[in-house]
Amino acid sequence: MIRRIASTGLRAVSLGTRMLLIVALAHLLPPAEVARFALYSSALLLISDLLPLDSYAAIIRQLLGEKSDLKGILQRYFGLLAASALSLGLPVAWLYVSATPALGSLIAVVMAGHILLEILSANAARIAIALGAPLRANLLIFLRTAAWVFPALPALYFQGADAVFEDLLLVWAAGSALAALYGGFLLQRLSGQSITPRWDAAWTRALIRSVGWFFAGTVLYRAIIGLDRLIVERLAGTEVLAVYAVLIALAMGILSLLEAGVSAFHYPEMVKDIRAADWKRAHEGFRRFVRVNLLSTGGTFAVALGVYGLIIDPLLPSFYQGYSEAFAWLLVGTALFSASMPYHYALFGLDRDRHMLAIYATGLVAMVGWAALKVHGGTVVDAAIMPSVALSAIALGRFVLGRPSSWPRD
């Protein structure tokens, strides 16, 4: 219980720091620079997950299955991560920046290095959770997502009216480097062995074949949560994107808090039981996961809506105020998405990757449909409903396809 409270508290500090960052950026940067921050951060998230083909799914399934060669798995996996970032990071970053003139071409070089650091640190945190160390994983997440904010904000403040996104970027990349170093140290401690990344072509080919359907599904999911800002910028303009970026960052931060405080403590054991075909224990773990998750989700999002209206909205510059309706729409989608997480992990444990592909395809179709109908020339509310529709569609699909009555029977 103490570890859970500490882990959730650490993620809450990370969330609070990110909220501070968003509010501070709204004050310290003009809307056009806030929009550049949104375009860069969404691309960094998208590329960092897609370059290694979201192959972490196969690794976590191995770690939660029968005993295996932990050192060998981690060495080969991080060899794959490093190779994908070093070979593809710069070309992909250059392509994205070239298609997004607002960022500027020189940012592609920084983004390429940043992609490598984010890939290493994000995957180290995922594996630490699967290995039963959520508290230390959340310390890593704090270093990766929040610690760098404290030196970054004074740097922006002292730039005054001349502050631009680049003043933030190098400090952010330095924070990612610190997180990657700690991630390497953490995995060596958890495994009890020295982990030196190495390339294994045959192992990599087998791994990629095993995650084909899962990767296809997560490509669609990453498009939903990674391309939304680009869609808003192209269809609704920079000013709408600036406000949308503030709101979506707050909503997704709340979602990550719930994943740290609930999912990280419940999914590993449940997935282990599913993969061991211990259906009695799996059903018990699922029911416990659902119960705790629903209570946490309902309470957290109700508090979030009140805190936004009473505290956060008045703290924002006038340009960003008065969008409580848009934020409420975002919370609807993220709350349903959060409530569906036990069903997602059930599908994950059952290897039902084609089901997940169908679910994410439905969400993407819903998002694109709404964008075509409403976001072009639309308002901030129209933009906020777009991801909410997609996340709600995903949640509904999970509820239907991941329900316990569809699981194998004893």
Question: HSE (CB half, 13 Å, CA atoms) of 188?
Answer: 10
Q: What whole-number distance in Å separates Cα of residue 7 and Cα of residue 254?
A: 15
* Rounded-to-10 torsion of CA 125, 130, 136, 138: 60
pLDDT computed for residue 52 by the predictor: 82
Helix (H), strand (E) at residue 224: helix 212-226
The pLDDT, as a whole number, for residue 66 is: 59
Query: What is residue 314's predicted lDDT score, i.e. its pLDDT?
Result: 92
Nearest to 364 by CA among 389, 401, 381, 398: 389
pLDDT of residue 361: 95
- Give the Cα-Cα-Cα angle 379, 297, 21 (nearest 5 degrees): 55
Alpha-carbon 386 to chain mean position: 18
Residue 260 confidence (pLDDT): 64
Residue 118: what pLDDT? 93
| Phi-psi group of 104: left, alpha or beta (phi > 0 → left; psi -120 to 50 → alpha; rest → beta) | left
Question: How many Cβ atoms are within 10 Å of 408's Cβ, its own excluded?
Answer: 9
pLDDT value at position 43? 87
Query: Tokens in use for 33?
Result: 């620079």
One digit per residue, pLDDT tens: the chain, 410 residues?
677 777 777 777 877 788 888 888 888 888 888 888 888 988 898 888 888 877 887 888 878 765 567 888 889 999 999 999 999 888 999 988 888 888 887 888 899 999 999 999 999 998 998 888 888 988 998 898 888 998 988 888 888 767 788 888 889 999 999 999 999 999 998 887 788 888 888 888 888 888 788 888 888 888 888 789 889 999 999 999 999 999 998 888 888 777 766 777 888 899 999 998 999 999 999 999 999 999 989 988 888 888 898 888 998 999 999 999 999 999 999 999 999 999 999 999 999 999 999 999 999 999 999 999 999 889 999 999 999 999 999 999 999 999 999 999 76
Q: Is 9 exposed, middle or buried (0-12, 13-18, 19+ CB in 10 A)?
A: middle
Angstrom distance (rounded) from CA 105 to CA 102: 9
Burial class (CB within 10 angstroms; exposed 0-12, middle 13-18, buried 19+) of 379: middle
One-letter amino acid at 266 equals: H
Backbone phi and psi for residue 194, each to the nearest 5 degrees, phi listed first: -75, 130
Cα angle, residue 43 at apex, residues 40 and 45 outer, rounded to 5°: 110
Both tokens assigned to 343: 């069903």
- pLDDT, one tens digit per residue, over 186-197 is 999 888 778 888
